[in-house]
């Protein structure tokens, strides 16, 4: 259940920015304008803060989120840039282009931001207020559109207040968004570079800069299966759901206070935000442990299907449906 919150309306001045940054530092949620749409921002290195994004939006599944930074040096802290990625960043940032790059494991991003993948989508927004906020914050802000799941993206502070008022800590009002379309998402290190989502930066501009055509999913010559680039994380071990007692020959991922003897517990107190923040990290660790000990299954305790439990169960069901044979499970 979400705590009822009084959503603060902040002005785009020094005091408003200072307040927004202070809320981010405490793991809170602040909606802010970018040139594309208003984003619902949280510190991308705090798992519980990222979990609250899903909670506030009521998103029924964990998809990787786009990470926003102030400048290229900061971006390099979180991801590895190939020469081609670097050239695209220099040409199109700040702007509505998100680059999907290998994540830097030492950068400290929460694995809820990347949904357990080893890539991260990064961009520098072109909105001056967004960049000033990001510069003052200094780190990485995860931000999907600031609307309840299933509703249209907000291009004004008033839209955000209508949809998420009372569910987030603050909204900083920076007027209307100029692009109004979401960012174009590109995987520059794919051969050829692959368009994952069309958006505010025209494909032709990217193709002109690269001097080559992009692979697109609708293009029969160079098919990019969505599964190829946005593949969902699934453990190699077989995942079995709704196991309420300690299994004999499998690892056990617990939830709540009744899971004594669990190898790991998503949240011993049954806190959904904590469970969501731990989900991918715990699955990764149990998968490693299973390999080390020659165990082929991970059993998972029942998780209530309420609030963030919906998204947790959605992701666990996908992991359970994946084939249990080695790398082939990762589709």
- Of 118-126, 154-162, 210-218, 287-295, which part binds ligand AMP (CB under 6 A)? 118-126
Q: Does 65 sit near ligand AMP (CB under 6 A)?
A: yes
Query: What is the C-alpha to C-alpha distance for residues 325 and 292, in angstroms, rounded to an integer?
Result: 16
Question: What does the alpha-carbon distance between residue 71 and residue 76 come to, in Å, rounded to a whole number?
Answer: 9
Q: How far is the CB of 196 from Mg ion (least distance, A)?
A: 15
The smaller minimum CB distance to Mg ion, of residues 12 and 154, is found at 154
Residue closer to Mg ion (CB basis): 145 or 184: 145
Q: Quick one: 253 or 311, whose CB is closer to ligand AMP?
A: 311
Residue 147 binds to ligand AMP (criterion: CB under 6 A): no
Least distance CB 164 / Mg ion (angstroms): 12
Rounded to the nearest 10 degrees, the angle between the axes of helix 128-137 and helix 14-25 is 50
- Between 31 and 262, whose beta carbon lies closer to ligand AMP? 31
Stretch that binds ligand AMP, among 40-48, 111-119, 166-174, 244-252 (CB under 6 A): 111-119
CB of 72 to ligand AMP, least distance (A): 18
Count of residues interacting with ligand AMP (CB under 6 A): 18
Residue placing its CB nearer to ligand AMP in the complex, 183 or 265: 183
Q: What is the DSSP string of 214-266?
A: PEETT-SSS---HHHHSPPP--SSEEE----S--SSSEEEE-STT-TT-SEES
HSE-up (13 A, CA, CB side) for residue 183? 30
State yes or no: residue 301 binds ligand AMP (CB under 6 A).
Answer: no
- Which residues are CB-neighbours of 271 under 8 A, at least 6 positions away? none
Q: Supply the minimum distance, in Å, between the C-beta of residue 226 and ligand AMP.
A: 8
Give which of 14, 68, 64, 62 is closest to 43, Cα–Cα: 68
Measured in whole angstroms, how far is the alpha carbon of residue 167 from the centre of its chain? 19
Task: Kindly tell me which residue out of 135, 151, 156, 197 binds ligand AMP, with binding defined by CB under 6 A.
Answer: 197
What is the x/- site pattern for ligand AMP, positions 258-297, by CB under 6 A?
----------------------------------------
Q: How many beta carbons lie within 10 A of that of residue 264, not counting itself?
A: 17
CB atoms within 10 A of CB 179: 19
Binding-site member from 69, 70, 121, 283 for ligand AMP (CB under 6 A): 121
Residue 109, helix vs strand vs coil: coil
Handedness of CA 179, 185, 66, 54 (dihedral sign): positive
Q: Are 134 and 41 in contact (CB under 8 A)?
A: no
Which of 7, 34, 74, 114 binds ligand AMP (CB under 6 A)? It is 114
C-beta of 134: minimal distance to ligand AMP in Å?
A: 16
Is the CB of residue 147 less than 8 Å from the CB of residue 164?
A: yes
Among 28, 41, 47, 64, binds ligand AMP (CB under 6 A): 64
CB under 5 to 8 A by kind: which of ligand AMP, Mg ion, none does 185 bind? ligand AMP
Q: Which residue ranges make up the site for ligand AMP (CB under 6 A)? A: 63-66, 100, 114, 117, 119-121, 144-145, 182, 185, 196-197, 229-230
């Amino acid at each position: 259940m979400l705590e009822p919150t009084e959503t603060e309306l902040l002005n785009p001045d020094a005091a408003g920015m200072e307040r927004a940054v202070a809320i981010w530092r405490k793991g809170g949620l602040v909606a802010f304008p970018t040139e594309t749409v208003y984003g619902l921002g949280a510190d991308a290195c705090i798992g519980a803060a990222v979990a609250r994004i899903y909670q506030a939006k009521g998103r029924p599944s964990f998809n990787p989120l786009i990470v926003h930074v102030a400048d290229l040096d900061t971006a390099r802290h979180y991801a590895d840039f190939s020469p081609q990625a670097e050239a695209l960043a220099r040409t199109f940032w700040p702007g509505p282009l998100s680059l999907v790059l290998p994540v830097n494991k030492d950068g400290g991003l929460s694995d809820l931001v990347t949904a357990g993948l080893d890539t991260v989508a990064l961009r520098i927004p072109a909105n001056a207020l967004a960049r000033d906020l990001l510069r003052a914050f200094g780190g990485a802000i995860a931000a999907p559109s600031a609307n309840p799941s299933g509703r249209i993206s907000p291009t004004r502070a008033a839209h955000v207040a209508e949809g998420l008022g009372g569910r987030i800590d603050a909204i900083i009002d920076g007027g209307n968004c100029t692009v109004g379309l979401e960012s174009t998402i590109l995987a520059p290190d794919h051969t050829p570079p692959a368009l994952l989502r069309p958006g505010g930066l025209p494909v032709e501009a990217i193709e002109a800069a690269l001097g080559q055509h992009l692979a697109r999913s609708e293009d029969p010559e160079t098919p990019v299966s969505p599964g190829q680039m946005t593949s969902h994380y699934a453990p190699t071990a077989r995942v079995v759901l709704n196991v309420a007692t300690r299994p004999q020959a499998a690892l056990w991922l617990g939830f709540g206070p009744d899971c004594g003897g669990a190898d790991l517990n998503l949240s011993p107190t049954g806190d959904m935000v904590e469970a969501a923040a731990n989900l991918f990290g715990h699955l990764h660790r149990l998968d490693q442990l299973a390999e080390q000990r020659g165990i082929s299954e991970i059993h998972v305790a029942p998780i209530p299907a309420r609030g963030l439990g919906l998204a947790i169960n959605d992701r666990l069901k996908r992991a359970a449906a994946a084939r249990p044979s080695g790398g082939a499970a990762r589709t």
